[in-house]
Amino acid sequence: LQENLTKAEGYLDHFKHGVVANRIGGEDVAAADGATFETLSPIDLKPLARVARGSAADIDHAARAAKSAFAEWAAMPGTTRKKLLHKIADAIVARAEEIAFVECMDTGQALKFMAKAALRGAENFRFFADRAPEARDGKSLRAEGQFNVTTRVPIGPVGIITPWNTPFMLSTWKIAPALAAGCTVVHKPAEFSPLTARLLVEIAEEAGLPKGVWNLVNGFGEDAGRALTEHPLIKAIGFVGESRTGAMIMRQGAETLKRVHFELGGKNPVIVFADADLERAADAAVFMIYSLNGERCTSSSRLLVETSIYEKFTALIAEKASRIKVGHPLDPETVVGPIIHPEHEKKVLDYIAIGQAEGAKVAAGGTKVEGPGGGCYVAPTLFTAANNRMRIAQEEIFGPVLTAIPFADEDEALSLANDVQYGLAGYLWTSDLGRALRFTDALEAGMIWVNSENVRHLPTPFGGVKNSGIGRDGGDWSFDFYMETKNIAFAT
Ligand code: NAD
């Protein structure tokens, strides 16, 4: 840990000299009104850096820069864009350690996972780089006396708004396809963890991305974020964040008929039948709720367990949860680091109190933990004796808190699983193939894993149903969002 702390200090030095500026048209730019904000480390609540706090004037500046760069970027051959995006991926790999360390310090996420997340960011660039040359491909459709050709063109400058939980990886996941499609970008990262977004835009420009293709404006949701969603030059908003923010963005973007793509919250069920491989199911359930501090949209925050194995299975989970290492995010052994911010820690602890008041039983954790630095550490928590009507079973807590509910049979399991406003992911554990087919067919979720934790295959669609989102990312789905489809009819 000591060695990692020394390294982290060196990497954070990058942000210590003056204010972390916005990046507009390839230049460092202070906020038009000179405003700034501090980003705190959740480890000790000390400021890591002072950051430019952009508002409507800065967003306007960035949107104009993105518009000026658009024609040339959109006209660049896909093969050239492909090479450039691969260069960005190479540069991410070269600076992966720096990215991971800064991410851990800014978000409190454990190095164990952030080291992989930095490399996944590079993979996101490579994945979309390889598809850039074909992004415009369409179909040909014959009719009597007519030959139709469809093609796709980039929609224009787009706005990307990202959350604080794993900001680096999520930014690459949204921005790489936009660039591959030929769009220019204005990115507004989350105010709780803005630092790696700044590294990312620097890396992209150093790798040769033309000025103005990617612009970064830091600031708060209610001013910079809002202005981005309302700006007439911005043609679409790719948003990752809370469901109620998605609803606000839809309203804000209505006047300019903004195209929107939303990746929102979740209350994802893990459904465990008695015929499952229980040891594997328990490991996966534990991983899916407690890794990334439970601050993960696809986390398995509801555990639905067949009654006959409920006691035994929840005891297994409680035992595994109590052995999880909570600690400094830069300690290579840490699984659960500090929660992002005291405000969010309070929300998580409030939910633990609400669960107890509702009559659920704390079978593991349930308290704040005194961790290194004295920051926002919360013990991995398991609630048993819970039911689906409780708030801890219905609302997204976005922390290391799991609610276990028994079910009698397949019908009850399905009705409990679907009885929430969300529908992002679901995890089913059974050895009965017929049941797996029936169940996954009826489960209301955009992504379902059977006998597996969340393992992403990048060409598959990513996204949710119900209040968990609108639209899909991944493969060609991303291009459908960032591009307009055009039909040209030739008379024969
Ligand atoms: P949030 O909605 O509070 O903020 C997300 C971003 O939106 C931030 O950059 C914020 O500044 C901005 N914002 C806030 N108000 C805005 C407004 N009125 N107009 C424009 N922008 C605005 O979310 P959060 O707390 O940062 O992140 C946690 C949430 O993100 C959870 O609900 C989680 O499930 C969700 N999430 C979803 C996915 C997914 O892929 N589905 C992935 C990660 C996180």
Ligand 1 pocket, mutate which of 107, 109, 161, 261 (most atoms under 8 A from CB): 161
pLDDT for 475: 85
Residue at 315: amino acid letter: A
Q: Where are the beta strands (DSSP E) in 30-143?
A: 36-40, 47-52, 140-143
Q: Are 201 and 88 a contacting pair, CB within 8 Å?
A: no
Joined together, the tokens standing for residue 258 give 């903004």
Token pair in block for residue 5: 């702390």
Sequence length of the chain is 492
Query: What are the backbone dihedrals phi and psi of residue 13, each rounded to the nearest 5 degrees, phi first?
Result: -55, -30
Q: Has 38 been annotated as catalytic?
A: no
Q: How much distance in Å is there from the Cα of 467 to the middle of ligand 1? A: 13
Q: Which of 191, 263, 396, 444 is catalytic?
A: 263
What is d(CA 467, CA 487) in angstroms, rounded to the nearest whole number?
Answer: 33
**188 CA: nearest ligand 1 atom:** 9
Residue 491's CB is within 10 A of a number of other CB atoms, namely 6
Nearest CA to ligand 1 atom 43: 297
SS (H, E, C) 408-424: CCHHHHHHHHHCCCEEC
pLDDT beyond 90 at 105? yes
- Mean of the pLDDT values across residues 423-431? 98
Q: How many beta carbons lie within 10 A of that of residue 270, not counting itself?
A: 29
How confident is the model over 369-382, as pLDDT tens digits? 999 999 999 999 99
Q: Is the CB of 264 under 6 A from ligand 1?
A: yes
Q: Compute the distance from residue 322 Cα to the ligand 1 centre, in Å.
A: 30
Give 24's pLDDT tier (boundaries 50, 70, 90): very high
pLDDT, one tens digit per residue, over 380-405 is: 999 999 999 999 999 999 999 999 99
**Global ipTM:** 0.96
Q: What is the pLDDT of residues 42-94, one digit of tens each?
A: 999 999 999 999 999 999 999 999 999 999 999 999 999 999 999 999 999 99
What residues form DSSP beta bridges with 476? none
Whether ligand 1 lies within 6 angstroms of the CB of 395 is answered as no
Q: What atom of ligand 1 comes closest to residue 265's alpha carbon? A: 34
Judge if the beta carbon of residue 469 lies within 6 A of ligand 1. yes
Pocket test for ligand 1, best of 106, 172, 240 (most atoms within 8 A of CB): 240
Q: How far apart are CA 11 and CA 60, in angstroms?
A: 31
What digits encode the pLDDT tens for the residues 304-361?
999 999 999 999 999 999 999 999 999 999 999 999 999 999 999 999 999 999 999 9
- Overall pTM surpassing 0.90 (yes/no): yes
Question: What atom of ligand 1 comes closest to residue 226's alpha carbon?
Answer: 19
